[in-house]
Structure 1
Amino acid sequence: MQAVAQALVDRGHEVVWLASADNKARVLATGATFIETRAIAAVDAPFIRENSTGLLDRQFHRLESRLLAQVADYRAILADFPAEALLVDVFPHGARALYELGEIPVYATLGVIPFYTSSAAAPFPVSGDCPPTSWLGLVRNGLRQLINRWILLPLFLAPVLNRQRKLLGLKRLPFGEPAECFTYSSFLHIQASCPSLEFSHDPNSEQHKTRVTYVGPLVRPSPRTSTQLPSWWEEVVPHSRVVGITQGTLAMNPTSLIIPSVQALKDDSSLLLVVVSPHGKEVEDHVGQAPNVRYADWLPYHLLLPQLCLLITNGGYGSITQALSHGVPLLCAGQTEDKKDTAARITWCGAGIDLKTDNPTPGQVETAAKRILSDNSYSQKARILGDELNSLGGAQTASDALEALVVSTKEGATKSRK
């Protein structure tokens, strides 16, 4: 979101950004106006305590008040700010309700998790699967998608949303809508990826098929101020075999991935390991000092990634697309939420290996890392994906699409008045 907000502000647009209190500095850094969530914050509090987003757990009862909370927080902004468009995360239940009430002209969604479609060949969300490669697999997967569309969503998700829509004076959702209708805007969906990384699948919804814009990684331009790099950084730049090791922003316990990765590779003198984690001291205390391991609480990805020959990660979507944009192959070890689906996309494209566990052994990491480092096909596939990602225009393309959406909406409104 930062990258898009920054691009819109740079073009002279007025941007008001609703976000949680702990993101205030990030919002203000883009030049956008910050508004703190209130009703949504109360709904989000249990997920924050669980280090979860609650987006993909399919416990639909946990959405019992989210639509109304979104509407309440949006209305608080719209009372003083007549927005020409609303850009929201996926699952835009509140934005859809406001549009149907006539309180906003149009809304768009921004996808920074895998793009999920509901066609017969599309893997089910949070399955960690790739598209089926046999007729039997295609039939089985297609049946699962049909059951989801015609039984599970109408029985378990739609009623939760319909109860909230009724309180707003809205009619019930149409029966049997494709899953995309619950997930993405039918006016514009911006996906921070590329078609190849998403199995080249189109939405299984006619109103969505021509409304998806791939933009590649969304990275906010680095601040003009100089970044304070560690004293050992000068060792990284000339080194030909630098391996990055990182573990995301929610599941940060270093014993699950960072420690076994360091244990697996610290004895290979041909490698320089760069561990990015606030738990570097804990890792070093556990594995002991090693001459080829360097620790940093944080490093800017735009400086780190171009130096890597391999990134070991638990598979966050943003990290994956940024690494690929620099042609870096990946070793993934993450099973929570959407991470297994991100890893499946990496293996499908041949740009890395998925260990299919949150807690790999040092032996598993060593075997997979050596396989990637000794087989040029992984880095070749990563560079091909990187070229595709980098060709899509990032935040500028996203801004173009949003501007075009506003223009077309205004033109449509003018014609309807005539």
Structure 2
Amino acid sequence: MWATDVRPQRRSCWSWSRRPCRRPTERRRTELQKHSYLFATCDAGGNLQPELVLAERLRARGHVVRFLGHRSQQRSVRDAGFGFRPYRTAPEWDWNEPDTAPVRDWELKPLQAFAELREKVLFGPASVFAADVLDEIEAEPTDAVAVDSFLFGAMAAVERSGLPSAVLWHTVFSRSDCDTPPDGAGTQPAKSWPGKLRDRAVKGIESRLWNKGLPALNEARGGIGLHPLTSVFEQLDRMDRVLVMTSRWFDFAALTGSPLPDNVAYVGPQLELGPVSSPPHGEVTDPPLVLVSASTCYQGQEQFLDRVVGALGALPVRALVTTGHAVSFSGPTPPNVEVAAWVPHSTVLPDAAVVITHGGHGTIMASLAHGVPAVCLPMGRDQLDNAARLVRSGAGLRLSPKASQRRIAEAVQEVLGDEQMTGAARRLAEAIQREVASDLGSAELEELVAAG
């Protein structure tokens, strides 16, 4: 039933892929016909936007895409012109609202936050997510299913269906059972043997914490007629593809040549790029424009915004502060600072000189795609890992999320005066723009159906 995939160009840990992971070719693309894709997603903040971009690219290639998700996502999906159906029995949540967020991680220590994420999102509701996904597959013709990387129960359902399957991995790649830095720690790849031994010990602890979700996952699998697993990560390995939607020129796992499961494919960030200078970035405006981007969902970022606005008010810059819909800014606004809930970043980044961000993956990718260096104040989640990669790339700085107004102002001035940092951002922009133009995500999903 299971076929091991061997790709000589990649050193592999293992493979459970059901179908050979053949790379798309131009000849095969022309042979592909119109297909129906189901995207099973969930409200997890910045995950929806790259999934919508990928869906739009599939639609532009003649395919049909529909979404199964939380009701909080319905408006965004339908406004983009896609079919949407809410989960029928899976728990509802909305990470934009503090009272309805499944995990109040801004109030918790990291280990407590992960324990709640594991029990309330990743594995605890696996059985009901599996049931809803199987019902949706039965409801309409479906040629392939793409599942958000948070939904292990949905992955099990697609495995049970036998349909071609993909995981949509919407941030940098890290797994506790692979040779990548510890997840969520914001550390650089270890170079010394003591550092490598430390990382292995930490990742061993991480793996045990993840596998506390194994009983719930195996219960979900048993309920739909699948055999139990010995690790939660085996569920990822049983999917045909894991599409990592970040730049391989940014992520440690790709840059260091770490052994990865054979079904993992880097497809580049899924971005809607506006006009981009060539070479990116163009001339800096006078005074320079600073774009501030807070979290898509609530993280208790009010004080972050207060300090950033205060810092920018003391600098000879123009600033646009986008707060996101999760919070509203009520503090004093200096005359050189404009505050808005939301502005399409693609319309602002071509003119920006610096981005200040909490470290969300989408914001960092969009900034670098336009050749704009960033100052990152990570608050948690995947943001520390994103910040570590930003610093390693040479295209930005990382500050404490509690950095003072003075330190934030100093960092902005440092970036504005650092030509090497700007040069690193521009080099990454050229690589990311090539990845975006290649549309590998759509090609991988098309190939799934062709190989099936």
* TM-score interval, smaller chain: 0.7 to 0.9
CA–CA distance in 1 between the matches of 2:191 and 2:410?
27
Is 1:300 equivalent to 2:350 in the alignment?
no
CA–CA distance in 1 between the matches of 2:127 and 2:72?
22
Give 1:116-135 correspondences, 5 Å limit: 116-118=174-176, 121-135=179-193
Aligned to 1:16: 66
The secondary structure found in structure 1 opposite 2:320 is strand
CA–CA distance in 1 between the matches of 2:393 and 2:415?
14
CA 1:251–1:26 in structure 2 vs 1: closer, same or farther (change >3 Å)?
closer
Aligned to 1:345: 389
CA–CA distance in 1 between the matches of 2:445 and 2:55?
11
Aligned to 2:128: 69
CA 1:385–1:22 in structure 2 vs 1: closer, same or farther (change >3 Å)?
same
Aligned to 1:109: 167
**Root mean square deviation of aligned Cα:** 3.1
Q: Of 399, 404, 415, which residue of structure 1 is paired with 2:447?
A: 404
How far is the alpha carbon of 1:243 from its aligned partner? 0.7
CA–CA distance in 2 between the matches of 1:115 and 1:394?
21
Give 1:134-173 correspondences, 5 Å limit: 134-149=192-207, 151-154=208-211, 156-173=212-229
CA–CA distance in 2 between the matches of 1:395 and 1:346?
23
Q: Of 302, 311, 316, which residue of structure 1 is paired with 2:360?
A: 316
CA deviations on 1:234-253 (whole Å, 9 max, x unpaired) are: xx995451111121222365
Aligned to 2:147: 88
CA deviations on 1:230-271 (whole Å, 9 max, x unpaired) are: xxxxxx9954511111212223656422221222232323x1
For structure 1, which runs of at least 5 residues remain unmatched after alignment? 223-235, 410-418
Amino acid at match of 2:125: R
CA–CA distance in 2 between the matches of 1:120 and 1:106?
24
Q: Of 303, 306, 326, which residue of structure 2 is paired with 1:259?
A: 306
Amino acid at match of 1:83: T
Aligned to 1:414: none
How far is the alpha carbon of 1:24 from its aligned partner? 2.1
CA–CA distance in 2 between the matches of 1:64 and 1:112?
18
CA–CA distance in 1 between the matches of 2:169 and 2:241?
11
CA–CA distance in 1 between the matches of 2:268 and 2:245?
5
Aligned to 2:249: 196
In the alignment, is the contact (CA less than 8 A) between 1:315 and 1:333 conserved in 2? yes
The secondary structure found in structure 2 opposite 1:98 is helix
CA 1:345–1:50 in structure 2 vs 1: closer, same or farther (change >3 Å)?
same
Q: Which moved more, 1:341-350 or 1:238-247?
A: 238-247
For structure 2, which runs of at least 5 residues remain unmatched after alignment? 1-50, 275-282
CA–CA distance in 2 between the matches of 1:165 and 1:404?
27
In the alignment, is the contact (CA less than 8 A) between 1:117 and 1:203 conserved in 2? no
CA–CA distance in 2 between the matches of 1:184 and 1:300?
36
CA–CA distance in 2 between the matches of 1:23 and 1:147?
34
The secondary structure found in structure 1 opposite 2:412 is helix
Q: Of 282, 286, 289, which residue of structure 2 is paired with 1:242?
A: 289
Q: Give the TM-score normalised by structure 1.
A: 0.81
How far is the alpha carbon of 1:274 from its aligned partner? 1.4
CA–CA distance in 1 between the matches of 2:444 and 2:149?
17
Amino acid at match of 1:157: G
How far is the alpha carbon of 1:287 from its aligned partner? 3.5
Amino acid at match of 1:213: A
In the alignment, is the contact (CA less than 8 A) between 1:88 and 1:95 conserved in 2? yes
Give 1:363-378 correspondences, 5 Å limit: 363-378=406-421
Q: Which moved more, 1:104-113 or 1:64-73?
A: 64-73
Q: Which moved more, 1:124-133 or 1:87-96?
A: 87-96
How far is the alpha carbon of 1:39 from its aligned partner? 2.0
Is 1:276 equivalent to 2:322 in the alignment?
yes
Aligned to 1:412: none
CA–CA distance in 2 between the matches of 1:14 and 1:120?
35
CA–CA distance in 1 between the matches of 2:220 and 2:348?
46
CA–CA distance in 1 between the matches of 2:306 and 2:93?
35
CA–CA distance in 2 between the matches of 1:395 and 1:32?
23
Q: Give the TM-score normalised by structure 2.
A: 0.76
Would you say how many aligned residue pairs link Structure 1 and Structure 2?
383
Aligned to 1:35: 85
The secondary structure found in structure 1 opposite 2:303 is coil
In the alignment, is the contact (CA less than 8 A) between 2:147 and 2:154 conserved in 1? yes
The secondary structure found in structure 2 opposite 1:79 is helix
Percent of aligned pairs with the same amino acid: 26
Amino acid at match of 1:261: V
How far is the alpha carbon of 1:65 from its aligned partner? 4.0
CA 1:295–1:10 in structure 2 vs 1: closer, same or farther (change >3 Å)?
same
CA deviations on 1:177-218 (whole Å, 9 max, x unpaired) are: 4x753456642122221123111255655xx23x33323331
The secondary structure found in structure 1 opposite 2:228 is coil
CA deviations on 1:282-338 (whole Å, 9 max, x unpaired) are: 75x6335x3322233321111111111100011111111011100111111122211
